[in-house]
Amino acid sequence: MAAAGRRTAGTKLLDVLDAFGRDRRALSLSEIARAIDVPLSTAHRLIAELCTWGGLERADDGRYRVGLRLWELGALAPRALGLREAALPFMEDLYEVTHENVQLAVRDDAEVVFVERFAGRTAVAVYTEVGGRFSLPPTGVGLVLLAAAPAELQEQVLAAPLRRYTPWTITDPAQLRRVLAEVRRSGVAISDRQVTADAVSVAAPISQRDTVVAALSIVVRGDGPAAVRSMAPGVRAAARAISRTLSG
């Protein structure tokens, strides 16, 4: 974060919004002031402006949460908007057939951003939520997106420490490199219990005019790749159909 004296008023407003996150959904005035390194009086003024505009909302407990105005604007993001419109019918079909987790994601630098999902009441629990982020390597959608990413980004990810989430998480760069090559060869990625010990996913790329722009996956409860092999053709077919819609 830039030094407080160099920040413009607009930057400070953005800093307030940036203080919120997946693990910081509700913040008090003092927590926001500390997070953005400004006096309480300044934080109060910035928060008041954002509340008036609709970017923040004050709950009954006095803490602040992201407002609906930001959700409305986020839904207009061109990359997510056209993609979701194209993907939703095919995602709904996959969900109706499987009643499992169906996920749609894009890449933002070295992270996955989930832009849509369907989940059944009896489906395996996942960390996914719309608008949520996750590192690329462990997830099925992340493997697809990383395999199609520029070589420089791939090398950046391979050179960084690979976090272990479960005993099955790939943390060896050489093994991950081989997996990415297989994803490019086969056109699908399988993540076998790499994020949680009871979930397996299969994912396929979505392209727009020969450029991979997103990934589609199904996540099921399982203890090995066999749990999703029968679903791979359906995921691949749905991803290709979405690709045709986007490129049409």
Q: Is the pTM of this model over 0.85?
A: no
pLDDT at 4 over 80: no
pLDDT at 201 over 60: yes
CATH architecture of 4-73: Orthogonal Bundle (1.10)
Query: What's the confidence (pLDDT) of residue 2?
Result: 41
The per-residue b/e assignment along 187-216, b for 16 or more CB within 10 angstroms, e otherwise, is ebbbbbbbbbeebbbbbbbbbbeeebbbbb
Higher pLDDT, 189 or 129: 189
Sequence ranges of the chain with CATH classification 3.30.450.40: 78-247
**Residues 110-154: tens digit of each pLDDT:** 999 998 999 888 888 887 788 788 999 999 999 999 999 999 999
**Residues 222-238: tens digit of each pLDDT:** 999 999 999 999 999 99
Higher pLDDT, 149 or 248: 149
Burial environment of residue 136 by CB neighbours within 10 A (0 to 12, 13 to 18, 19 or more): buried
Judge contact between 201 and 220, C-beta under 8 A.
yes
| Helix/strand/coil for 29 | helix
- Going 170 to 175 to 181 to 183, the CA torsion angle's sign is negative
Q: How many CB atoms lie within 10 A of CB 135?
A: 17
Sequence ranges of the chain with CATH classification 1.10.10.10: 4-73
Q: Which 8-state DSSP code applies to residue 208?
A: E
Which numeric CATH code is attached to 78-247? 3.30.450.40
